[in-house]
Structure 1
């Protein structure tokens, strides 16, 4: 019989890394857009912080939608 290719611990670590990468990508993109728009250093840092917060909210939403989808499946 064929089992899962990842152990439960490795699956948790990979999921955590994917989530952190997603939030980091959203935050970094907000900072880079501010930088490309000619923002000051403080404005870039604020945009980065707000982008990380928005990324966290998006991640929360996607996790909750995914959990609901798994329950109804």
Structure 2
């Protein structure tokens, strides 16, 4: 019989890295978009901070929604 090729710990670590990567991508994206309007450094920091919060909320929503389609453990 063929079993999974990775352990549960490896799968959890990979999922955690993907979640962190998604949050960081959204956060940095918000900072880059803010650069289009010639902001002050404080405005860039605020845009990144707000985008990180939005990224965390979006990641939580996506993960919660997709759990319905993942195999039962």
Q: TM-score, normalised by structure 2?
A: 0.87
Paired residue for 2:66? 66
SS at match of 1:31: helix
Greater mean alpha carbon deviation, residues 12-21 or residues 37-46: 37-46
Alpha-carbon distance in structure 2 between the residues aligned to 1:43 and 1:20: 23
Distance 1:3 1:70, change over 3 A: closer
RMSD after superposition: 1.5
Query: TM-score w.r.t. structure 1 length?
Result: 0.87
**How many aligned positions are there?**
71
- Which runs of no fewer than 5 residues in structure 1 stay unpaired? none
